[in-house]
Amino acid sequence: MKKIFIAITVLLAAVTFTSCNQDLLNIQQKGAVGQEDFYKTDDDAIAAIAAVYAQMNSFFYNYKFFSNLPSDNIYCGGGSRGDNDQWAQLNEFRTHPQTGSLGSYYRGAYNVIFKCNLLINNMEPNTETTKRAIAEARFFRAWAHMVLTEFWGTPPLVTEVLTGAEKPGNTPKDELWKFCKDEFQAAAAALPSKKNKTDKESVCRVTKECALAHLGKVQVLSGDMAGAKSTLKQVIDSGLYDLVPGEKYDELFSKEGDLCEEVVFSLHTTENGTNTYSGDMLYLMWGWRTDHLTSVPVGFYNNSWGFMNPTKAFFEAFQAHDGADSYRIRASVASAEQVLQMDFTGKPKFKTINPLHGNEGYFDMKFRYRDQNAVKARNGYAYVNDRLLMRYSEVLLLYAEACAVAGDDGSGLAALNKVQARAGAPITALTLQNVKDEKRFELYLEGCRFVDLVRWGDAATALAGHYENVPEFALDEDGVGTVYWRPYNTGKTFGYQSGKNEVYPFPYSEMQVNENLVQNPGY
């Protein structure tokens, strides 16, 4: 008892001592800098904007899936039915508030906004370095709000670092578009231009013309075609971008195309052998389903999972538009018959071991997993090519659309024809329908199709009745292909519904914690 009594006495004395000496509890964490001591210097600005770029890298994977899956051009595949059903739900319009990918995308965009607000709210623009960092953060904050608005319509506008008690509600779409326009305009005014057309160093970061290109894009998205004409013409007239030759079209989506004259916006990846801090599974997920195949052509990485497969209707429409042998179609899609003609030197004959789920016998070429891009040390969980977000061809097609709607002096036609000529496609007149067709094929799997169909009013027609039956494809040793149609969605709610599927439901997790957020109609 005596020992216990002494121990308790010592403990009470220690508590009394520390309660009277609270400063002893305020121990500075080693290697950490408090927010009040950060955002002061040029080095702080560089570190803060680097954190924004890193957050964008983290967001890229979900963004690429989310912006491409709701489309009439592709089926969501995988190993079998139920493999990552969160992605199939987006593709088949079976989405509901508890679809896991919704929350990941929504939170990812707001994480970008949070990192931007930390910099913008706390950094003084008192040097050239701090001014540029703030301008870049304003660009990324606007970009994140833009992609949220595209898919939710009225997400909350957040321009400050929020406290736990703050729960912003829906923001009207017109207000969001205005915010994005103002921010892109302000960013453009403060950012430097590329030095010249072939400058690779400057385009590792956001430039003036990149901000203007996105301002023009938001103007098109919001219906301000006259404004878009003026803005996008500035990018074109700068002479700082160009289309690569047709024979190099395929290189745009590999490391050879990194930072080339056609790149307007990409997240640059530095090859370091393992790419430890720059990994995601995009190409693993999008490349062909290699474990269901006896072999893949020479130059392909032999480990990928087949989640993006072009439809027969898309392939046939593409071929009817471009012809069978344009630069663009050969770099974008291939039929099983065409794959059989590829180089398999030293490999077994190409056939299926198991049927390919979500596949009609057509294969994506644009984002195939190329052996040279895969980081072997990480089994393909990282890649060395850049994360491409906007090409100059999109700028030209946005400008052509604006001219088709608001009036053309001949420059809109020239922009359209420039894209067509490089692709190896027929040259046409400037009409809105011709621009629509060109965007469908030129920007296949580049995040534009669904948003375009909705804003053009074409979604209900293009997406009607597309997903009740899901294909599976088998190819035998004689090169004979068979498509099996599986009625996976019979009796389920699926497919595009007007008045509902123009936007997605706000995630259940967000609705539970934010009583000010009003759910979108139909969910």
pLDDT tens string 253-271: 999 999 999 999 999 988 7
The pLDDT of 190-219, averaged and rounded, is: 96
479 and 338 within one domain: yes
101 and 42 within one domain: yes
pLDDT band at residue 26 under the 50/70/90 scheme: low
pLDDT band at residue 464 under the 50/70/90 scheme: confident
* Total domains present in the chain: 2
The pLDDT of 280-285, averaged and rounded, is: 94
SS (H, E, C) 435-463: HHHHHHHHCCCCCCHHHHHHHHCCHHHHC
Instruction: Say whether pLDDT at 145 is over 60.
Output: yes
pLDDT in the model for residue 467: 86
Question: To the nearest whole percent, how much of the chain has pLDDT over 70?
Answer: 92
Domain-located, residue 501: yes
Alpha-carbon torsion, ordered 291, 295, 299, 305, to 10 deg: -20
300 and 164 within one domain: no
Q: What are phi and psi of 352, to 5 degrees?
A: -90, 140
Taking all residues of the chain, what is their mean pLDDT, rounded to a whole number?
A: 93
Instruction: Say whether pLDDT at 29 is over 90.
Output: no
Instruction: Say whether pLDDT at 121 is over 60.
Output: yes
Domain-located, residue 224: no
Closest CA to 447 of 185, 74, 113, 140: 74
pTM (two decimals): 0.93
Domain-located, residue 274: no
Closest CA to 131 of 210, 179, 202, 186: 186
pLDDT in the model for residue 423: 98
The pLDDT of 215-229, averaged and rounded, is: 98
517 and 370 within one domain: no
Closest CA to 401 of 445, 366, 440: 440
Domain-located, residue 372: yes
More confident residue, 420 or 26: 420
Ramachandran class of 93: left when φ > 0, alpha when ψ lies in -120 to 50, beta otherwise: left
CB 306 within 8 A of CB 364: no
292 and 182 within one domain: no
Domain-located, residue 5: no
295-308 pLDDT, tens digit per residue, is 999 999 999 999 99
The domain in which residue 315 lies consists of 279-379+457-492
Say which CATH number the domain at 501 has.
1.25.40.390
Region of poorest pLDDT, from 21-25, 452-456, 492-496: 21-25
Q: How many residues does the chain have?
A: 523
DSSP for residue 157 = P
pLDDT band at residue 163 under the 50/70/90 scheme: confident
Rounded CA separation 339/389 (Å):
28
Contacts of 417 (CB under 8 A, 6+ apart): 427, 428
